[in-house]
Chain A
Amino acid sequence: MENTLSTTTDKVFLYDVIGAQFDTIGSKALAVKKMLNDYFPKNDYLRRLGVCVFEAEANLAIHTIHGGSIEVMIFSDRVRITAKDDGPGMKDMKKALTPGFSTAPESARQLGFGGGVGLNNIKRFADYFYIESSKKGTTLIFEVWNDDDPTTH
């Protein structure tokens, strides 16, 4: 399977995530999973996607000023998710990708978030992972391919 980002599709869905609202985290991930069931009715595949979208949603809700958006692009053999926000961005990308490191506030940690493994969960369950961040915001792109499970490799 080619790993390119040039493919086009007309199946694009957009979900907004509200910032600093923790009690609804997971609702967009569930909505995405439910929507994708029409295209990829495979439990394992949908669970992998669900985990990745949940983590992206949690990051938008916990770490942004104004929340952000989750764009879902559906291709015949894969789903591409783009999570975007407008800040404040990650100060140290290397640290942010280190398991166990988190800048989540105490209010989020008390709910079981902020373990510092969210991005690593996405890396583990996705087949393609890209992230860029500045003070103006963070863009996270990942794809989950509908072939086999990378966690079993």
Chain B
Amino acid sequence: MTIQQLIEQLPLQLLTTQLNVNGSFHDVYTSDLLSAALAKVTEDHVWVTVQVHQNILGVASIKQAAAIILSENLMPDKDLVSKAQEKGIVILLSPYTSFETSGMLYNMLKEEKNGNK
């Protein structure tokens, strides 16, 4: 699934508007603990969190995450968004809780997998 499809289907708000959203992902990891995300997130993952501070960019950048979804409409400051754009990290905003966002993503990925069979 591409990030563009994800944005349209949930729907989500793209905060890093200058970035390309053609990239794809096949898995999701949800955690607010940075060490857990560091261990588990890959370039194939979208990472769901409520953390909205600068350190999430370091984690996503090291692991080359496909995108970060900030749940519960937790809007980061402009500085974080501009730094994310510099680093090429896609940031999306979800109105739902991390649980709800993850649940919807789980179903979408499952549907896609079944559709491809």
- On whether the two chains bind one another, the answer is yes
* A27→B39 CA distance, assembly (Å): 18
A85 within 8 A of B: no
* A118→B38 CA distance, assembly (Å): 9
A82 within 8 A of B: no
B112 within 8 A of A: no
Contacts of B22 in A (CB 8 A): none
What is the count of residue pairs linking A and B with beta-carbon distances less than 8 angstroms?
69
Given contact pairs A30-B61, A54-B62, A117 touches B39 in the complex (Cβ within 8 A): yes
Partner-A contacts on B (CB < 8 A): 32-36, 38-39, 42-43, 49, 51, 53-59, 61-64
* A111→B53 CA distance, assembly (Å): 7
Given contact pairs A26-B55, A51-B39, A112 touches B34 in the complex (Cβ within 8 A): yes
Q: What are 7 residue pairs bridging A and B, where the CB atoms are less than 8 Å apart in the complex?
A: A23-B54, A25-B55, A29-B58, A43-B43, A47-B63, A51-B39, A54-B38
Given contact pairs A112-B34, A115-B33, A22 touches B55 in the complex (Cβ within 8 A): yes
Q: Is the CB of B55 within 8 A of A112?
A: yes
CB distance from B93 to the nearest CB of A (A): 18
Contacts of B38 in A (CB 8 A): 51, 54-55, 121
B38: nearest chain-A partner, CB-CB: A51
* A76→B25 CA distance, assembly (Å): 33
Contacts of B62 in A (CB 8 A): 26, 29-30, 33, 47, 50-51, 54
Interface residues of A in 106-153 (CB under 8 A from B): 111-113, 115, 117-118, 121, 124-125
A118: nearest chain-B partner, CB-CB: B35
Q: Number of residues in A with C-beta < 8 Å to the partner?
A: 25
* A24→B39 CA distance, assembly (Å): 20
Q: CB-CB contacts of A40-72 with B at 8 A, as 1s and 0s?
A: 000100010011001100100000000000000
CB distance from A50 to the nearest CB of B (A): 4
A119: nearest chain-B partner, CB-CB: B35
Contacts of A27 in B (CB 8 A): 58
Q: Is the CB of A54 within 8 A of B39?
A: no
* A47→B38 CA distance, assembly (Å): 9
* A111→B58 CA distance, assembly (Å): 13
Contacts of B58 in A (CB 8 A): 25-27, 29-30, 54
